[in-house]
A and B are shown apart, each in its own frame.
Chain A
Amino acid sequence: MSIGRNLPHDSAIGHVTGESIFVDDRPSTTNEVHVGFVGTTVAAGVLINVDASEALEISGVLAVYTARDFYHNRWGTIVHDQPFLVEDVIGHFDEPVCLIAAETREALREARKKVRVEVEESAPIFHIDEAIARKLFLYESRGLEKGDAEKAIREAPHRLKGSFEIGGQEHFYLESQASIATPTEGGQIEIHSSTQHPTEVQHVVAEALGLQQSQVVCVVKRMGGAFGGKESQASPFAAMAALVASQLNRPARMALEKDDDMRITGKRHPFKNFYEVGFDEKGKILGLKVQLYSDGGAYLDLSHSVLERAVFHIDGAYFLENAKIEAAVCKTNHHSNTAFRGFGGPQGNMTIECILEEIAIFLKKDAFDVRRLNVYQGSNCHTLYNQEVKNNTLPELFDRALQSSNYHQRQIEIRTLNASQDGKLRGLAITACKFGIAFNARFLNQASALVNVNRDGSVQVSTGATEMGQGVNTKIRQIVASTFGVPVERVQMMATSTEKNSNTSPTAASSGTDLNGAASLVATNKIKARMSWVAHHLQIGTSQLSDFQNLSSGHDLESKGEPADGSAGVSAELSRFNFSNETVTDRKTGWSISWKDLVNKTYMHRISLGEHGFFRTEGLDYNNDTRSGNAFKYFTNGVCASEVEIDEYTGELKIRRVDLLMDIGCSINPGIDRGQVVGGFIQGVGWMTTESLWYTPKGRLMSYSPTTYKIPNIQDTPRDFRVEFLQNDGNSDGLFRSKAVGEPPLLLSASVLMAVKNALSYRTEGVPELRCPATPEEILMELSRKCVNTTSKVF
């Protein structure tokens, strides 16, 4: 049984030896051309002319393409509002206006410098405030409402009003966007793309070129990181490569350089959220009003869904009796912002954490006590959209973290240290996450998988899931191997291809394993049922081949229901066959046959050893008209205590200690999951502290490489970093009682920001304002603005 074991990543050996193949590692083929783009030099305005005559003179440059060359030049996940290449109106700086195809990288590089782009500039909009004032919205949410927030706030003993600004975040996947398009025959195109959503690539390419979807195949072996940045935004580059491939009838490779990728692709949405909260003396929230505004950039992309998830996570881990939530996506002249791990959830969650921290500071109470008072518990377990928080581990998580982090004692020590005024300022905070698992868009909660058993007993599995490092293939491999009772080495995870599974959903929303693992299990169990039937006949000595005749029709062999725990699929009678240790044994009689023999016999009797599995998440009855119901299958919960130290002279920040506690149910692979938890948290810490997007006044991104955009490095991982998992086998809604883990831990990085706020509260009069990221500049300027303590050593 490999489920629950710490098996290394299924590509671990390939990764450490450099043998793993990424898109741009694929050997160049005969005639292959390189594709690059030229972008606009303004953020807003109109494109007047593209003059590529000089570029075309360079030896090796084959062609230059503009918007007119696409059959259909618009794409978008829901609304097709984004051009591949600018037609007339310019959306953002560096937006592609033309493509260059060249025989060598050198020629391409030279040619890109020689294209003259003529534009007529107009006044751009960059700030959320300005977009709000002018009501420039790409999307307005219907919000959420419960009780009477106005009245509750009005009648509350205390009120606070404020705003919370959160910056964007660059994905900084190490592998930049890359696609190779190869024309095959009859106008067909095969694309190797670094995408989380091969089906969307297939569809976007087909539409861009005027092909049927059946004429396009998208293959994804793996990605060098994605984090949401390749959910929608891999598609345009695939379409660009495909355009060149089809025009020249030659293979075309488009692998972006990091600087270009960072300049033009969308990022995590910046948000500015306004709130008004009423609360009692203890800090219990009585009423809450929030308006969330995200910066969607120039086009919609996934911004509406991201905003909705922010709205659905505005409660964080806390029960709200009266609330009114409104939200809109602002249209600006930034790159079109997109999915990023957490998908709006963090921006919602951080807002409530920030409000609770401020309530505590205002009441001069301990912030833990205020949070603990408000957390979902007892009968207060219904969300703003009326979903019950079941198997609620939040109170237990809070209480355990309080103990294990020695929270109260440390707060006392911090108070003493901060009073000593030695230029160091410390803060400590515990925050929580309750992350809803399922795509908000219900139709996406489906998956399919193809499982093929070969005659030597080895198994190939291909699903709609794409591997980006998160280990989805490793987990699926464990599920299939466990179910067949074979070692994982017998199970090979194959590249994801739209040829094997079509109409798949993106690998996103933390649901890769939940959906595709379940679909694989369905397929595996179907094969297992047929093999059990064969075993049954072999045991009773059915010798005539004709006796097996009915087997291939097979409907009676498969169970009807397919519960997520994997117990069914094999009918009750046949479940007496135990598949383990590469042997199939009748538990009742002790009769047994080796896995390999049974596979071969199954084949010889003309019974199919391949199967397609389909899965959809049941129970998602959320109704968008009433804005109520079960929007999620279950919640993944966690809490985190972070302690920080600030240098009061410079604003420099150090994380002294982190205690992270998560409930991820019964893990399918604890080693993989720990990697998700630690990696997600640190990625969030980067967003909270050092990752700052900086644009010129004209809107060009200047933090476009690791020299100027600082993601955490190995020195930034806290020296004292304690990660623990709560024992919880009560999540009957999860696959093998596991819980999805990809995004939730990122939300816990809010604890770092709140710890900074806690620290600043020792020096500022009233509630400290702190925008995210809390860079040394942000911290120092707040200290110098608000410092009330005249004996303090800084100005």
Chain B
Amino acid sequence: MYSMQSRNKIVFHINQQRHEISDARVFQTLAEYLRYDLGLTGTKVVCAEGDCGACTTLLGSIHEVQDGKLRYKAVNSCILPLASLDGCHIITVEGLKKGAELHPVQKSMAENFAAQCGYCTPGFVCAMTALVEESLAQKKSCITEKSARNYLTGNLCRCTGYEPILNAAQALELSQIESLSNREHSDERLLEFRSLVGQSVHIKGEGFVFFSPTTVAAASELKSQFPDLKIIAGSTDLGVVVNKGRDQYKKVMSLQHIQELRQVNRRGDSLEVGARVTLTSLQKFVEQAVPEFGNILHVFASPQIKNQATLVGNLVNGSPIGDTLPFLVMNEARLVVHGSQGKREIVLEKFYLGYKKLDLRADEFVTAVIIPIAVQKNLMRLYKVARRKDLDISAVTFAGHIEIEGRIIKKARVVFGGVGPTVARIKELENAWIGSEFNRELFERSGQKLDQLIKPLSDVRGTSDFRMQLCRNLLLKFHDEIAAERNI
């Protein structure tokens, strides 16, 4: 039974102060805890859904230690329950000053007119500090405009037009800055955090229960025993749903301390990605291995979200517009599922039974996704079209892949997202393409047939007419790019 060696509290530090939680506050968000319980109001809440970055704080987790020190990353505190902070040191905007002295990022932001109304500023300061931490860890000599843009995509500012913020980032003299990893390091803290992670957590009270097991076996047992347990990894999805009043944290199991779920393993031509692997870690891994997929991850979400969110979480969310789905469906990715009847694998496309309906029993949970990546050597394209290039949920997503011999198509995969209740392969097109000659007319004809194959809806992201037109054009774009690449 699950009870041995378990703690009934979580422990974390905020700006070097130790905090323990052993009651229902485990489900309180970090932002609320900071603002209402501690009076640290520098951290702002604007959207309460992880989309604006005003609530950004820095988080150093015992699970991401490098060179014996905590590495500080940007996270959205508005959707992060305290439950996820076990073994973490949080630094807020108030904790960045050293005595009376401003952190260099704060100084640079102030001097470069990067703060106007000031409401987004603490979030930007924390996000930019995370960029400094990353740059120092990589021994970079300066911050480029490109890296500043990439690191700050998760923070919205309505006043400055961002130019002064980019200037502030680029003005930083990295060689003069001591990393927070060093500055904030404490052997004692690390020692305490290390002792925590081997222990599972079990907190319960009136109307709620929280588990944080340390092995898949234990997690599996819990899920069998309590089938209504909700699973959280980064809680970037459930955190939003709860904030918007559409759900509540009542019975929750966190995967945070399960080491085996934090692995990405390469097995032959496949990647096995554990359920607690963050998108940030995954992106680093696939940028080399599958650059096209890396690009999708790049514009998919903010650094703050990617530092928390997981690929498995994105998949079990089941949204028909999940940006990672077309690629995974096209490659016939498989999910690894654990349940009371043991372990099984299921092809991703089959996993979706309808709009947000999953082939997953109550006693089961997904522990990993296996992605065959051999296909990337061939002719593949991934497209996503949204109103805004970065961090916008797509109107339509597309994944296509063909193999050609001479001018004849030998193999074809085509997947659309955003045009139906689930992301789906369009087998009719694949069949029509295989054996045909690769030419523009084929793709034009496919486009004309599309309205019999897909039925996109009209919603906030686009009308059905627009989506249909996009799908037709993406087929042509796919053809044209491959024709240009192959010179055929």
A residues at B contact (CB < 8 Å): 6, 8-9, 11-22, 24-25, 27, 105, 109, 113, 171-176, 222-227, 257-259, 423, 468-471, 648-652, 654, 671-672, 674-675, 678-683, 690, 692, 694, 702-703, 705-708, 710-717, 719, 721, 723, 775-777, 780-781, 784, 793-795
Contacts and interface: CB of A to CB of B under 8 A. Distances in A.
Contacts of A222: 117-118
Contacts of B119: 22, 173-175, 224-225
Contacts of A678: 160-161, 163-164
B46 A174 contact: yes
Contact of A258 (B48, B121, B162, B386): B48
B323 interface: no
Given A258-B46, A780-B470, A17 B97 contact: yes
A553 B486 CA distance: 91
B476 A710 contact: no
B480 interface: yes
Contacts of A708: 393, 460-461
Nearest to B384: A650
Contacts of B96: 17
Given A692-B387, A705-B51, A706-B52, A13 B159 contact: no
Contact of B387 (A14, A225, A468, A710): A710
Nearest to A780: B469
Given A18-B94, A174-B52, A713-B390, A11 B118 contact: yes
A623 B136 CA distance: 64
B49 A705 contact: yes
Interface string B97-114: 100001001110111010
Interface string B305-332: 0000000000000000000000000000
B41 A683 contact: no
Given A16-B121, A675-B161, 5 more contacts: A174-B157, A469-B117, A649-B476, A692-B387, A717-B162
B47 A671 contact: no
Interface string B113-132: 10111111110010000000
Given A650-B477, A777-B462, A683 B388 contact: no
B254 to A, nearest CB: 22
Contacts of B122: 15-16, 18
A679 B48 contact: no
B200 interface: no
Contact of B385 (A257, A652, A692): A652
B466 interface: yes
B395 A777 contact: yes
Interface stretch (B148-156, B231-239, B262-270, B425-433): B148-156
Contacts of B164: 674-675, 678
B424 interface: no
A173 B158 contact: yes
A175 B51 contact: no
A21 B36 CA distance: 14
Contacts of B152: 714
Contacts of A777: 387, 395, 462-463, 466
B47 to A, nearest CB: 5
A223 B118 CA distance: 9
A776 B387 contact: yes
A385 B465 CA distance: 45
A717 B466 CA distance: 26
Among B106, B152, B444, B469, the most chain A Cβ lie within 10 Å of the Cβ of: B469
Given A16-B109, A716-B389, A423 B161 contact: no
A776 B385 contact: yes
A648 B481 CA distance: 13
Interface in B434-459: 444, 447, 459
B388 A690 contact: yes
Contact of B116 (A6, A9, A257, A776): A9
B439 to A, nearest CB: 13
A678 B161 CA distance: 6
Nearest to B473: A649
B477 A649 contact: yes
Contact of B117 (A13, A174, A706, A712): A174
Nearest to B145: A719
Contacts of A9: 110, 113, 115-116
16 contacts: A9-B113, A13-B106, A16-B110, A17-B42, A17-B106, A18-B42, A21-B41, A172-B156, A174-B54, A469-B115, A651-B385, A678-B163, A682-B162, A705-B51, A706-B46, A776-B386
Interface in B11-26: none
B111 to A, nearest CB: 6
Contact of B466 (A21, A702, A780, A793): A780
B284 interface: no
A220 to B, nearest CB: 13
Contacts of B469: 780-781, 784, 795
B205 interface: no
Closest 6 CB pairs of A and B: A18-B42, A469-B117, A224-B119, A15-B118, A682-B161, A469-B116
**Dominant secondary structure at the B interface:** loop
Contacts of A469: 115-118, 159
Contacts of A223: 117
Contacts of B97: 17
Given A776-B387, A781-B469, A713 B156 contact: yes
A651 B388 CA distance: 11
A257 B48 contact: yes
B390 A227 contact: no
Contacts of B54: 174
Nearest to B163: A678
B161 A681 contact: yes
A781 B121 contact: no
Contacts of B116: 9, 225, 469-471, 675, 679
A105 B36 CA distance: 11
Contacts of A674: 113, 164
Contacts of A113: 245
A469 B164 CA distance: 14
A142 to B, nearest CB: 35
A268 to B, nearest CB: 13
Among B51, B117, B159, B392, the most chain A Cβ lie within 10 Å of the Cβ of: B117
A14 B51 CA distance: 24
B432 to A, nearest CB: 18
B117 A224 contact: yes
Contacts of B109: 12, 15-16
Contacts of B385: 650-652, 776
Among B35, B115, B153, B391, the most chain A Cβ lie within 10 Å of the Cβ of: B115
B94 A702 contact: no
A795 B472 contact: yes
Contacts of B389: 652, 654, 715-716
A715 B117 CA distance: 21
A703 B462 CA distance: 12
B126 to A, nearest CB: 9
Given A672-B113, A703-B460, A777-B395, A19 B42 contact: yes
A343 to B, nearest CB: 17
B44 A174 contact: yes
Contacts of A683: 158, 161
A21 B117 CA distance: 11
B155 to A, nearest CB: 7
B88 interface: no
Among B102, B152, B245, the most chain A Cβ lie within 10 Å of the Cβ of: B245
B166 A18 contact: no
A715 B107 CA distance: 23
Contact of A675 (B107, B158, B159, B245): B159
B290 to A, nearest CB: 22
Among B36, B97, B385, the most chain A Cβ lie within 10 Å of the Cβ of: B385
Among B52, B393, B480, the most chain A Cβ lie within 10 Å of the Cβ of: B52
Contacts of B92: 18
A707 B49 CA distance: 8
Nearest to B120: A174
